[in-house]
Amino acid sequence: MKSISWIILPLACLIMVACSSDDDNGGSPLPDSNASFTISGDIEGEKTGLASAIVVESAGTYIFDIGMSDAAGGGQTFSLSFFIGPSDEEIEIPEPGDYTIATTNAGDFWVVYTELEGVDGREYGSIWETTGTMTITASGDDFIEGEFEFEATGDPDDALMPQGAITVTNGEFRAEVF
């Protein structure tokens, strides 16, 4: 009887775990972690991809990053990241509300858009003129979602003059926070 118990107990545990109604997705991204937006200016088009968010701490400095990119079959063509920080104080997941997007550390968020298709990785935003808004529509311990729009100038030339500009509209995202 003892040997049957040792077989039945692990089997019962396996069945309970396999049939669990736990919706944590086994550590994989939320099924609807996504991003989409329209871009115009130097780059034209509709962009879609995945989104994720993370609070990073390194040597007492904190940064919150909402990152978006594609990689569907043909490789990555863009990267879009919204940042809060760096800060020497711990950064919390933003509450629902309206936030500004501006040049690095001049607003609530700062942004870097990188085009990886046809423009040799030109970046827009960061320390170059950037204006816009982000509305966080919902957030929790493990997710954040919202809408955004912004205008940003591009990387400088050899004379340190910004080159080109983009306008991003109709931006939406839902991201799992790691």
Asked, as a colleague might, if the bond just before 156 is cis with ω within 30 of 0, I would say no
The DSSP result for the chain, as a single string, is -HHHHHHHHHHHHHHHHHT----SGGGSPPTT-EEEEEEEESS-EEEEEEEEEEEEEETTEEEEEEEEE--SSS---EEEEEEEEEESS--PPPPSEEEEEESTTTSSBEEEEEE-SSSTT-EEETTS-EEEEEEEEEE-SSEEEEEEEEEEEB-B-TTS-B--EEEEEEEEEEEEE-
Q: Which of 69-73, 103-107, 108-112, 153-157 has the lowest mean pLDDT?
A: 69-73
For 54-104, what is each residue's pLDDT tens digit? 999 999 999 999 999 997 666 889 999 999 999 999 999 999 999 999 988
Beta pairing class for 110-115 and 97-102: unpaired
